[in-house]
Amino acid sequence: MTIKTDHRLLYLQVIDRLKKDIEAGVYQEGERLPSEFELSKLLGISRATLREALRILEDENIVVRRHGVGTFVRTRPVFSSGIEELFSLTEMIERGEQKPGTIFLSSDTREAMDEEVQRFNLEATDELVIVERVRTADGQPVIYCLDQVPAKLMPSNYKSMEEESLFNLLEKESNSRVLYAVTHIEPLGYHEKVSDVLECPPESSLLVLKQMHYDQNDVPVLYSVNYFRADKFDFHVVRRRV
């Protein structure tokens, strides 16, 4: 059925029609829409009109377009958080009413390199613990984590401990309570390793948070690079005029 009987601008009609189809379940979350040729023929409109409608739907975060792949219905994030709030990944997953889990991929202890010595204000001979993990929510991989912690703050048997939150581990073992972090956020469409590890669908991108965490004494205690599945997490910030 075409939509030309409505006298409004055609691209507005297309937007309404696609929104209704998505809400009705004609197109499911994460599903790829028909090709532009197929969809324009189905709706009885030009491809130029369809592209304008899809552009607006993408701006409204209803669909996501991948060059050379297609247009997909955006998956609604399960986890939503204000970026000005700081809490552990474990707590973030629990706030989404899902069970957090951890898959340990690797760990290593080595001497800190020059850049890391400066980052943590270490001595040249100090060592770092590097931990590579995947955090899961109800068994599904959702965050890929690379963490660096000064070895002097970590227990020697940390690999066998059940504590999944590094925040809690640091507080228990070294009395270092993480109070704040300096964060840099980078969008990433695809990562050759991480996207596969997190079982990302073709339309899903990643959000990378690079964070240096400081304790109650303003001492840097944890540097993390976390890759979040963008279809599962939504970060927002409240900005105030000054």
Asked whether residue 221 falls in the same domain as residue 159, the answer is yes
Asked whether residue 42 falls in the same domain as residue 121, the answer is no
**Which residues form the domain of 56?**
10-73
Which of 28, 58, 73 marks a domain boundary?
73
How high is the pLDDT of residue 3?
Answer: 57
β-bridge partners, 141? 136
Asked whether residue 149 falls in the same domain as residue 170, the answer is yes
Residue at 227 is within a domain: yes
Residue at 192 is within a domain: yes
How high is the pLDDT of residue 82?
Answer: 80
Most confident residue range from 103-107, 145-149, 158-162: 145-149
Q: Contact 129/152 with Cβ under 8 angstroms? A: no
How high is the pLDDT of residue 1?
Answer: 47
72: left (phi over 0), alpha (psi -120 to 50) or beta: beta
Pick 93 or 204 by higher pLDDT: 93
The percent of residues above 90 in pLDDT, for the chain, comes to 60
Distances (CA, A) of 143 to 82, 92, 129, 132, 227: 17, 11, 19, 11, 5
The number of domains in the chain is 2
Alpha carbon distance 22, 134 (integer Å):
32
* Tens-digit pLDDT profile for residues 184-224: 999 998 899 999 999 998 767 899 999 999 999 999 999 99
Residue 30 belongs to a domain with what CATH number? 1.10.10.10
Asked whether residue 117 falls in the same domain as residue 140, the answer is yes
Residue 157 belongs to a domain with what CATH number? 3.40.1410.10
Mean pLDDT on 8-27: 89
Please count the CA atoms within 13 angstroms of the CA of 223 that sit on its side-chain side: 15
∠ CA 49-52-56, rounded to 5° = 140
Which of 73, 95, 123 marks a domain boundary?
73
